[in-house]
Structure 1
């Protein structure tokens, strides 16, 4: 049978989602926990691979197993074997036509940025930070140039393994809440470091170092070397994953701090 899990995790202390030989990936921890409940070695597939230091308010995974367990065992039982910082939120049985990665039609990320002269202490590792005042209106004008289907090569990491740099960005929105900027992005897919590279350019624009029109120029150039440096991973969260309606799965979580 195929089981799908919704989970959340804090990226601090992990080397990203993907399994690593040294066992530091979130995938390593989840596979060990699921295998303990299933009584057999189990491989878990995720909707998206988050980088080192990146968090997930909502990640979706699936695995196949021959073990017959009550659905609660895949939540409470698995959680009892997981380290702090990773938690399964829900579990469902699905058909074999479901695939956590390939069935997803939309993914969403939020970057939580503290815009204050003093660096964060309490939320260190959980939020990004920029000390100079940022103009959210200018950042939104710049983000508007990104909406639509484009070649995002200028925002793609050199080690990106995606077959195509063309993605459809459906939402790019910056909202100020006091000293915080909540920066939301939704697309049919994302390139490696794409959101962090977009954030680097948006912060440059918000700080007055470039005009909003510069974003369009960078996008059209398809040249990563012309864009701003990759921004810090700390404030980045995977927040939304959408699947076709017939799977009847949630697409986000309502229980995280920056909802």
Structure 2
């Protein structure tokens, strides 16, 4: 048996999330159907993490064990011809038998995008949350800085989180402007259920002047979801990249982790 790892991009607009669900279309189901059509094997893939309904991915990672002899370099092309147009396999490579795309992950990066134009960009409306009134981006960036480091993120996760603890490390977090869009990038060792969206929903209150930047720290220390702002809309969120920090399990050109947005 071989252990093959793949990087996949998908437009989450038409999916009920990445992970298989009792009802609704999912990315995992579509990929598994394509693999079965290609090899005849009823394979269950292992994702690096879940993404919620409507959330997108540029660099989701998954792995699976297969008895197929298809050359590794042919897998992406072969699957892409069998996948719907809103899913694209970007790369495939062999990994050690013990590699697990979720447990082996070291860093994950998400992006949340806001359209701050008076009118939304019609071509980006599926990937940015439109906020037509003025936001204080500098105050939002200051508030975001209080979340960098290792903290208990109970205040910034869903009350439905089932994790035994909410301690996570955020390595870096910042805002970047692109035309009438503002992107928040956040990299950590893992993200709790709805964590990035709750952070953004709270930062929007900071941007609107409803909270001060330093309130982000007070909310964090309060360890209660009731202190934070609303959960931001899913369509503005994209899983950008998953990193493993070991050349043995990454494509040559690529430079307790349990999210789930």
Q: TM-score, normalised by structure 2?
A: 0.92
Asked if residue 173 in structure 1 is aligned to residue 174 in structure 2, the reply is: yes
Match status 1:79 vs 2:70: no
State the shift of 1:160 in Å. Answer: 1.5
User: Partner residue of 2:187?
Assistant: 186
Q: Structure 2 vs 1, CA of residues 212 and 252 (structure 1 numbering), >3 Å: closer, same or farther?
A: farther
Contact 1:155–1:194 (Cα < 8 Å) also in 2: yes
Deviation for aligned residue 1:118: 2.1
CA distance in 1, matches of 2:136, 2:52: 28
- Cross-structure match for 1:99: 100
**2: distance between equivalents of 1:244 and 1:161?**
28
For residue 37 of structure 2, give the secondary structure of its aligned residue in structure 1: helix
Conserved? CA contact 1:240–1:251, under 8 Å = no
Measure, in 1, the Cα distance between the counterparts of 2:155 and 2:96: 38
**Residue 161 of structure 1: how far off its partner (Å):** 2.3
Contact conserved, 1:240 with 1:252, CA < 8 A, in 2? no
Call closer, same or farther: CA 1:111–1:78 in 2, change over 3 Å.
Answer: same
Once the 2 structures are TM-superposed, how far is the Cα of residue 172 of structure 1 from its aligned partner? 1.3
Structure 1 stretch displaced more, 102-111 or 206-215: 206-215
Residue of structure 1 equivalent to 2:131 = 130
**19-28 or 115-124, which deviates more:** 115-124
Measure, in 1, the Cα distance between the counterparts of 2:202 and 2:183.
15
1:53, 1:129 → 2: CA distance?
15
- Bigger shift: residues 86-95 or 72-81: 72-81
1:12-27 matches, within 5 Å, as 12-22=13-23, 24-27=25-28
* Contact 1:116-1:130 within 8 A present in 2 as well: yes
**Superposed CA offset, 1:206-225 (max 9, x none):** 12221101111111111111
CA distance in 2, matches of 1:81, 1:175: 36
The aligned residue for residue 145 of structure 2 is 144
Three-state SS of the structure 1 residue aligned to 2:74 is helix
SS at 1:12 equivalent: helix
For 1:135 and 1:110, locate their aligned partners in 2 and report how far apart those are by CA, in whole Å: 19
Tell me which residue corresponds to 1:257: none
CA RMSD of aligned residues (A): 1.8
What's the offset of the Cα at 1:121? 2.7
Residue of structure 2 in register with 1:113 after alignment = 114
Note the C-alpha offset of 1:97.
2.0
Checking the alignment, whether the CA contact within 8 Å between 2:93 and 2:251 is kept in structure 1 is no
CA distance 1:168–1:102, shift in 2 (3 Å): same
TM-score by length of 1: 0.93
- Counterpart residue number, 1:206: 207
Residues 86-108 of structure 1: per-residue CA shift (max 9 Å, x gap):
01011111111211000001111
- Whole-Å separation in 2 of the counterparts to 1:133 and 1:139: 12
Unaligned runs of 5+ in 2: 255-261
Paired with 2:159 and 2:75, the residues of 1 have a C-alpha distance of: 37
Query: Equivalent residue for 1:160?
Result: 161
1:181 shift after superposition: 0.6
Shift in Å, 1:250: 5.0
Correspondence for 1:218: 219
The aligned length equals 254
